[in-house]
Structures are given as structure tokens and as C-alpha cells.
Chains A and B, each alone.
Chain A
Amino acid sequence: MFNYLVRRILSGVVVLGIVSAIVFGIFYILPADPARLSCGKTCSEELILKIRHTLELDQTLPVQYGRYVKGIFVGRTYLKGSPAELKCSAPCLGYSFQTNQPVTQLLKDRLPATASIAFGASILWLLIGLSSGIISALRRGTWVDKLSQGVALGAASLQIYFVGLVLQFIFVNKLAWLPTPGYSSPLHYPLDWAKQMALPWITLAFLLSAIYSRLTRAGMIEIMGEDYVRTARAKGLGNRTIKLKHVLRGAITPIVTVFGLDLGGLLGGAVITEYVFNIPGLGKLSTDAVSNLDLPVITGTVIFSAFFIIVANILVDLLYAALDPKVRIQ
């Protein structure tokens, strides 16, 4: 098990290396000149050369990439030896062209808002999705099932920017039940935090619980046809025990997998949700960085979200081992 974990972590690091190299390469090909971008409106050729030197853009691509990677692990120093020497401690992802803040700091600042959205919404969609899926499966073919699956189909076909804006219009603008979505620290203002997060949570949960509901229903119906469920009936177990113990236990594994990956993906930035509700999270950071061609920030956010997806993958595999005794033994 330990060896397996080490192997997975090492391969995760390799994947991160590949992702960062690709992102780095793409921006090198881009027709945008980073030096000119960070130079501003009043800009001379001389100044651009100087900036190019400061940003170490006058080095070859492999050297630039090598220094970038080195910066992540041990930190790096720009303009070594000059009076303007700039120390960037590990993990260093460079500086934003736009604000000159360290990218690492930006990511740290933006993570709590994104994590709030991701965790809050995931609890909500798990609750709604699983329970409606279970009820649908148990009441297959009845109006309860048809209604809940109809709603699920509709919800899964909608888009965040549509649902989000409609909900905001109703609950914020018209009814004024909720404040404009945003982010305040849950440690200092827990109530404000929950109120401001409510709409993003509901919007995301509305769309994702639809998928989980269908997944749960399909999984349970499939498992109900398994021989071991017939065995459970032949033993004389009650319907409730059969459905909630034997059937659900058999159906839960794929749901856990999808959940882990969804959560990992969201932690890297709930891009559309944050954009729609204007919440200062990682997703908003990356969309802003893209529109400003803020290359270090874009690279940083891409690597950061790749990191979360890789971690989520490893966690899902570990969970698999916990859920499936066959995996555990190997």
C-alpha cells in the first residue's frame, strides 16, 4: 500500500511537470510579448530590453523553464547581484505582470473562496443527488421517479450562467432574500459568508445533483438485478435492508469516483460560477489573468488546478481500496 502511494505520488509529479512544460511552451509561442505587456503605456525599446532582462526572457526556453521549476522547489532570485535583487522563496511561481504580486500569494488569497464554493456545494449536491436518486430507484416507474428524473434531466441540460443569473435576479434583485454573492471570511463573518455563498452553492448543486441523482438511480437499478441481491431476498431480509444495505453498497463506488474528480476539478477553480457571481476565487483569478494575458498567473493557476485534480485522483484510488476489498488485497 505504501509503495503504491509513493508510486502514485511520483507519477503525479511527472504529470505536473508535463502540464507545466506544455503551458510554458504554449505561452512562448503566443504572439504576445510579456515584456511589452508588463511595460505599460509609456514604453521605450530600452525599457522593454531592461524588463526582458529582469524577467529573464532573454534566456532560451529550456533555461527559463528550468529556472521556473527550480523556483517551485527551492525558490529563485531575480537580478542576482544588482541593487534591485528580488528574492522569491519557494514555492515561487513568478510575479503577476499586472499587479506585480507573487503568484503564490495570489493563489493563497483566492483559494478560500473557491474552497468555500466547492465544499459547500458538494455537500448540498451529494445530499440532494443521492437521496433523490435512491428514492427514484426505489419508486421506479411511479410519478415520484418520473418527476425527479424529469427535473434531473432538465437541470443537467441547463448552464450555470443561465441558472445562476435567473436565481440571482429572483432572490437578490426581486425578493431581496439574499445579499449579492461574494466572499467574506467564514472565520470572522460566518453568517455573511453563508448568505453570500448560498446562491453559488444552490446553482452548482442544482446542476450537479441532477447528474448524481441519475447516476445513483442507474447504479441502484443495475445492482438490483445482481445475483447477490436475489440471495439477500432468499435469506429473508427485509426490503429496506436489501435496498439500503446490499444495493446501495454495491452502487456507491462509481459515485465516489465521480465525486472525487468533480471536487478536485472544482477546487482548481469553479470558473464559470465564480465568473457569474463575481466571486474572488481561483476561477475568477484565472479568467482575469487570461483576459489580461497575465502569463505567470495563468501558468500558476493551471498548474495549481492540475495539482488538485491529481491529488483528487490519488485520493479516489485510495478510497477505492477502502470501498472494494478486491482492490485492497492486491
Chain B
Amino acid sequence: MSKFLEVNNLSISFPTEDGVVKAVDNMSFSLEKGKTLGIVGESGSGKSVTSLAILGLHKGSTAEVSGEILIDGQDINAMAENDVRLLRGKVMSMIFQDALAALHPYYTVGNQIAEAYLVHNKVSKSEAKKRAIEMLDRVGIPEPQKRVDDYPHQFSGGMRQRAMIAMALSCNPSLLIADEPTTALDVTVQAQIIDLLRDLQKEFNTAIILITHDLGVVSETADDILLMYAGKAIEYGTVRDVLQKPQHPYGWGLLTSIPRLTGDPEKSLAAIPGTPPSLISVPSGCAFHPRCSYVKQVGTACSSSIPDLLPVSAGAHHLVRCHLDTAAREEIFRSQVAPNL
């Protein structure tokens, strides 16, 4: 049986005046109901563009999307805009990073949640409002009967994100995409929101794609991790594999750059040298090679050919895109990376 969500060979590019931007290049991943996939990468790595494609939100724009996005066997990418529209909010929905910008400033929170419910359900306005109150209650907004008539700016940051979640879940979707849901929030509220998502996932058996650059959040919530760099998947596996036995030099860089309470306070944090590449002129070969410390061990292959996304060992579900061979990676990890974790 095929999985609930299957993305096969997804590529997304945007024609611009300066050239074609390859935002996502040949991505494949899958997700079961009730499970969480964390997509991790820095700004511009293609995380959000991927998630918008799963909702079919690139339709009608200049973006060129190729590949398959199968939800319950239906290919979103091949469907007409109007057919995808009927699935949005109902089968798959999304919560956005900046809830203040993502909520309409001139409509009440209740109105916006009820609207999401009304599109997909043949109910009266008062029933939809009742649903809005119920959802606000469910996501932990106190006095939902009163707050339902508030405008977004009257909510605190955490409450706005809760309201977004209430809106996204109002039709019990099977897939929820959370695009950096906690980035704009302070740490205690972040934890509350993550807990809330986890509880709701248990209750409704929702599949969640969590898009973030925060490895801490992923380690707490995700089952699988997909690491992205310059529009490509560079490492894909279970949380345990990717975080405890990371295989890609970029992943090593991310992990060693996390400050630790037990570390030496005088020592400066490890950083990955250089900056993420421009997607118009992606470096030749492995896109990460200009920033990679291990190019010398491999030689010219790094700058001349793009490595494939291959299993770490035969039959393993842990995939990595790197020219270093497994033995070399294990040696580097043991001697240079692990001591710094």
C-alpha cells in the first residue's frame, strides 16, 4: 500500500529577469498519517516553496512545478486549480510563520475560522461560529465565546498562532503543514505551541510536515528529518539516525553550531564558513562544496559532479548526498564531530 503522502521527483523553478531560480530540485519524500516529518534548512533552501507546492499554491503563478505530489493517491500537481482548492483546508492545510501577517487585520478571528469551516461544510453561519468557538477552546484560548469576536491585533503572539492552528484544523485535515510555526514566538510559548500540535496530532491522527530551521524543535517532535540545502535534499532519515549519526558535512556544521549549556563559555561557537548560495547560480557539483571542509579528501568530484542521494548502507532508510564514502564519513564523525557535540 502506498503511503498517505508521497512526493516524487518534485522540482520547482521560477523564471526571473536574472535567470531561472531552481528553488527545489528533484525532491522525494513520503509521510504516513499520524507521523511528523521535519524539513530543515536555512532560508532560501526551498522548504517553504516545497510546502506551498503540496497545497497547490503555486498554481496560477509563474512557478514551474514538475514531479508528483500524491495525497491518498491523487496527484495534486496534475489536478486543476479548482479541484485542488476543494482539498485545501479540508484534506491538507497550513499554518504560517508570522500569524499577525497571515491573519486578515480587518476581520475577527472567529470570522476567519468560521470562513474556513464554511467553505467545506454546508452549515449555517451560526453553526460555523459555534465551530470557531469550539476550535478556539480546543487550542487553549481562554473565554473563547468572548475572544471569538476579537481582531487579530487584540491577541498575543502565542494566541494568534493558536488561532491559526484552530483555523487550519477546523475541517480536520489529514495533513497539516506547519511553516516555522514557532519562529516568531518566545521560548515558553514555542514549547506550548509544539505541545499543542503534538496533542492535536494524537487526537486526529494528522500527518504533520514541520518546516523549521530549529533542530531543537525537530528533535522533540519529528519522526523523520529531511535536510535541505540549495533546493536539494541532502540527508533524509529518522530523527534518531540523522541527529545521532549525521552523515552530511552540512548536518555536522548545524549540530556543532548549537550552543550548549555544558560547553566552555569562552570558546566561540562553531560556524559554517561562507553563506548559502544564490539559487540563480548554484555552485557546480555539490552545492555545498565551497563551504565544505572535507573537499580535499574527495578531490575534484565535489566541484564537478553532483552526488546522488544514496543509502548510507545497503538497504538503510538513511539517505545522504555526499561524495565522501561511508567509512570516511564515520571516521570524520568519530574523530572531529562527535567530540564537539
Contact = CB atoms under 8 A, between A and B. Distances in A.
Contacts of B86: 236
Interface string B95-116: 0101001111111000000011
B93 interface: yes
A237 B168 CA distance: 13
A279 to B, nearest CB: 40
Contacts of A135: none
A323 B86 CA distance: 31
Given A231-B96, A325-B151, A326-B153, A237 B115 contact: yes
A229 to B, nearest CB: 8
Nearest to A326: B153
Given A325-B151, A325-B153, A329-B154, A232 B55 contact: no
Contacts of A324: 105-106
A236 B88 contact: yes
A236 B101 contact: no
Contacts of B87: 236
A232 B164 CA distance: 12
A142 to B, nearest CB: 14
B102 A228 contact: yes
Given A230-B57, A324-B106, A325-B151, A235 B119 contact: yes
A235 B93 contact: yes
A234 interface: yes
Given A226-B101, A227-B101, A325-B151, A233 B106 contact: no
Interface of A is mostly: helix
B218 interface: no
A231 B107 CA distance: 13
Nearest to A231: B102
A326 B151 contact: yes
24 contacts: A226-B101, A227-B96, A228-B104, A230-B57, A230-B102, A231-B102, A231-B103, A233-B57, A234-B93, A234-B96, A234-B168, A235-B88, A235-B89, A235-B116, A235-B119, A236-B86, A236-B87, A236-B88, A237-B85, A237-B119, A324-B105, A325-B151, A326-B105, A329-B153
B104 A234 contact: no
A236 B120 contact: yes
A322 to B, nearest CB: 11
A328 to B, nearest CB: 9
A122 to B, nearest CB: 24
A238 interface: yes
A237 B171 CA distance: 13
Contacts of B102: 227-228, 230-231
A250 B115 contact: no
Contacts of B119: 235-238
Interface string B155-175: 000000000100110000000
A249 interface: yes
A246 interface: yes
Given A250-B104, A325-B151, A230 B90 contact: no
Nearest to A226: B101
Interface string A18-47: 000000000000000000000000000000
Contacts of B287: none
Interface in B121-176: 151, 153-154, 164, 167-168
Given A230-B96, A249-B104, A236 B90 contact: yes
Nearest to B151: A325
Contacts of A326: 105, 151, 153
B94 interface: yes
A236 B104 CA distance: 15
A227 B93 CA distance: 15
A267 B115 CA distance: 41
Given A230-B57, A236-B85, A325-B105, 12 more contacts: A227-B96, A227-B98, A227-B102, A230-B102, A233-B57, A234-B57, A235-B88, A235-B89, A236-B86, A236-B120, A326-B151, A329-B154
A228 B116 contact: no
A40 to B, nearest CB: 62
Interface string B261-281: 000000000000000000000
Contacts of B98: 227
A87 to B, nearest CB: 54
Contacts of B164: 231
Contacts of A323: 106
A235 B167 contact: yes
Contacts of A232: 104
B115 A235 contact: yes
A230 B61 CA distance: 12
* 10 tightest A-B CB contacts, nearest first: A236-B89, A236-B88, A227-B101, A325-B151, A235-B116, A228-B104, A235-B89, A227-B102, A231-B102, A234-B94
A228 B55 CA distance: 15
A250 B115 CA distance: 17
Contacts of B154: 329
